[in-house]
């Protein structure tokens, strides 16, 4: 149990490393929070600094979620994979290094899901890609893919712990997209290819 608690804290700290923030500091010397949507995530890094920087941010944020959940699963089974995965997601959304103002949990949550159930992750990615293609809104794609995930897990995933992760993860993603939902409703959300002007 003590080791479990230490691993949860370590996952939270690992999750707190917002790769979009780190990449933007490293390649352009800027604080990504002052640009585009103001988010530290991969989407805003790509929007502000191009696809290469965005891809690195995505890979880093995805990998930290996947590593945390995978180590947890290896150490104590699916429930511990879920516990460490949620800790990493909470680190990303409420990072200790950025005054607890972090990202929207899509890449990190996707990484956790990938370690727990790769096939459902690919299905959710397919939904995400389709909605992005149709609408041009990354946020709408993230919201719909997140909302579908708990249902996909209920249908195809036997572990209750992983199913519960789907519900918690989707709730965090939707909660963190409040400002996007507001902008989608008012027709002012950033579309792909256009640079954002507002901050969250
Ligand atoms: O992954 C976050 C994405 O869904 C929205 O990001 O920067 O457009 O608010 P952003």
Distance, in Å, from the CA atom of 174 to the CA atom of 56, rounded to the nearest integer, reads: 24
Q: Best substitution site from 111, 139, 181, 192 to test ligand 1's pocket, by max atoms within 8 Å of Cβ?
A: 139
- Looking at residue 200, its pLDDT comes to 45
- Looking at residue 198, its pLDDT comes to 45
pLDDT per residue over 61-74, tens digit each? Answer: 999 999 999 999 99
Residue 48 CB–ligand 1 contact under 6 Å: no
- How many other β-carbons are positioned within 10 Å of the β-carbon of residue 151? 12
Per DSSP, helices labelled H in the chain are 2-15, 19-28, 42-49, 51-76, 78-93, 106-116, 118-135, 138-156, 160-176, 178-186
Q: Best substitution site from 19, 39, 49, 129 to test ligand 1's pocket, by max atoms within 8 Å of Cβ?
A: 39
pLDDT per residue over 166-175, tens digit each? Answer: 999 999 999 9
- Looking at residue 199, its pLDDT comes to 44
Interface predicted TM-score (ipTM): 0.95
Closest ligand 1 atom to 179 CA: 9
pLDDT per residue over 90-146, tens digit each? Answer: 999 999 999 999 999 999 999 999 999 999 999 999 999 999 999 999 999 999 999
Residue 190 CB–ligand 1 contact under 6 Å: yes
């Amino acid at each position: 149990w003590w080791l479990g608690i230490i691993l949860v804290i370590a996952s939270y700290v690992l999750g707190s490393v917002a790769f979009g923030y780190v990449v933007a500091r490293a390649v352009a010397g800027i604080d990504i929070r002052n640009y585009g949507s103001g988010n530290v995530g991969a989407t805003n890094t790509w929007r502000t600094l191009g696809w290469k920087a965005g891809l690195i941010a995505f890979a880093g944020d995805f990998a930290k979620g996947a590593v945390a959940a995978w180590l947890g699963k290896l150490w104590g089974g699916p429930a511990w994979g879920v516990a460490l995965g949620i800790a990493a997601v909470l680190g990303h959304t409420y990072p200790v290094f950025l005054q607890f103002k972090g990202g929207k949990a899509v890449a990190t949550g996707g990484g956790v899901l990938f370690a727990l159930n790769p096939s459902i992750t690919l299905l959710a990615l397919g939904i995400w890609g389709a909605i992005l293609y149709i609408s041009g809104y990354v946020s709408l794609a993230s919201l719909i893919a997140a909302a579908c995930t708990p249902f996909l897990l209920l249908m195809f995933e036997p572990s209750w712990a992983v199913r519960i992760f789907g519900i918690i993860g989707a709730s965090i993603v939707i909660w963190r997209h409040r400002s996007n939902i507001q902008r989608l409703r008012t027709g002012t959300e950033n579309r792909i290819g256009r640079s954002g002007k507002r901050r969250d």
